[in-house]
Structure formats: structure tokens, C-alpha cells
Amino acid sequence: MILLSADKQNGFRSRFDLAHELGHLILHKGIERSTDPVRHKMMEDQAHRFAGAFLLPAETFAADVRSPVTLDSLLLLKQRWGVSVAAMFMRLWALQIIDDETKSLLFKRRSARWGVKAEPGDDGRAPEQTRLLKRTIELLASSGVMPVDAVAAYIGLSANDIEMLTGLPLRYLSGNAAVVHLAKLKSVDAPHSKPASEPGVVVPFTRGG
């Protein structure tokens, strides 16, 4: 389970944070977090590289980058890829498109122009919300499999916590919010036909969030 801080209303940073933690789960499964600073830094660097490769695939991202690399050109790509300009610096360096000197120069220009913490357009993308869990609870409610006010007791968390974690409307699980009933598939009776399987839930992943 990955928990993200709710006070970061910056979709670009939270996407990278999530990909970074996903990197830890995949790369360092079964490995205890080390108190050794050198080993800890190595694991953090590995998770950062994973996040960069996951969010900015080598071939497609590199094809979007124009030479010479500038802050303004990357600022346009920021909206397309959903990743901060600073993270793009590091990915370009990892792909050896820019060298150490160019990376350092770009960071200095970024700091002088925008500051260290914020970038233009940071407020243009809200943090992404979970989809599959929300969809699952909506399916349970609309199909009558489980009363909506019984979900919290079944899961073992408070209704408010479940609503916040899944992106459900406030008071949805208490039955005081509008319930969206999803369309049901019509069954067709045919001789010697096998029972239809349950429809799957497809949650599309879009690169840009």
C-alpha cells in the first residue's frame, strides 16, 4: 500500500512520488531499508530512475525533445507528459541526451527564473484519484450485492476514511449522497449457451494522468 500526503495539491509532484514509491515496491521487495547513508542514497537513486523511466519512456519522450533543450520547450512538454521540468532534466541526463554540465546549467537557470520549489503550471493538474476501488464500490451498490451502508463494516475502516481513500463523494457510504447506478448488461437467452461471465472492469491508464 502506498500513501501519499494529502497536502500536496500538485499533480506533477504526486505522480512522480507515486512512481518513486512503486519503484521501491518493485526493485526493493524483501530488502530492508538501510540506515547506512550510502546504501540509502543508492536505493533512493534507483527508485528515482525507475520513476523517470516509467513516466518518461526513452524512445517516445526523447522523440518529443527538441534541441537545444530550454526551459520553455520543456515547460510545454510538462503538460503533455505530466512530469515536472526538473524531473525531465534528470531523465534527459539518464538518457545521456544532456551531460553533467548542461544538467547543472539548466538547474541553475530554473532556480534563477522560477525558484527552487515551484514551477509555472503546477496548479494546472490536480493529484490523480484512484479509479478501480471507487468503481468497485459503485458496482456493489448499483447491483445490490451489498447495501452501501454495509461497506464500511465489511472493509473494517470508517466510512469517511473509505470515501477519502477511494474518491467517493462525502456521505456516499451513509446513503446520504446521490448514488450513480451503472448500466447493466442485458442477458440473452440462447439454447445450449453457457452462462455469461461477469463483466470486467477496465480502468484505462493515461500517460498524462
Look at phi and psi of residue 162 and say left if phi exceeds 0, alpha if psi is from -120 to 50, else beta.
alpha
Residue 118 has pLDDT above 70, yes or no: yes
Question: pLDDT tens across 30-50, in order?
Answer: 888 778 999 999 999 999 999
Radius of gyration of the chain (CA): 22
Q: Which residues make Cβ contacts (< 8 Å) with residue 28, sequence separation at least 6?
A: 43, 46, 47
Instruction: Determine the Cα angle at 10 with ends 5 and 12, to 5°.
Output: 110
Amino acid 198: pLDDT: 38
82 burial class (0-12, 13-18, 19+ CB within 10 angstroms)?
Answer: buried
Task: Check: CB of residue 49 under 8 Å from CB of residue 163.
Answer: no
Rounded CA-CA distance 167/149 in Å is: 16
Dihedrals phi, psi of 174, to nearest 5 degrees: -95, -5
Amino acid 184: pLDDT: 54
Q: What percent of the chain has pLDDT over 70?
A: 82
Amino acid 47: pLDDT: 96
Q: How many CB atoms lie within 10 A of CB 22?
A: 15
pTM of the shown model: 0.68
Residue 24 has pLDDT above 50, yes or no: yes
User: Could you state, in order of their start, the residue ranges of all structural domains in the chain?
Assistant: 11-124, 129-185
Helix residue ranges per DSSP H, 115-195: 132-143, 151-155, 159-166
Question: pLDDT tens across 123-178, in order?
Answer: 888 777 778 888 999 998 888 888 888 889 988 999 998 888 888 888 888 866 55
Q: How many CB atoms lie within 10 A of CB 70?
A: 12
Best CA proximity match to 55, nearest among 28, 29, 94: 94
Largest CA distance in the chain: 74
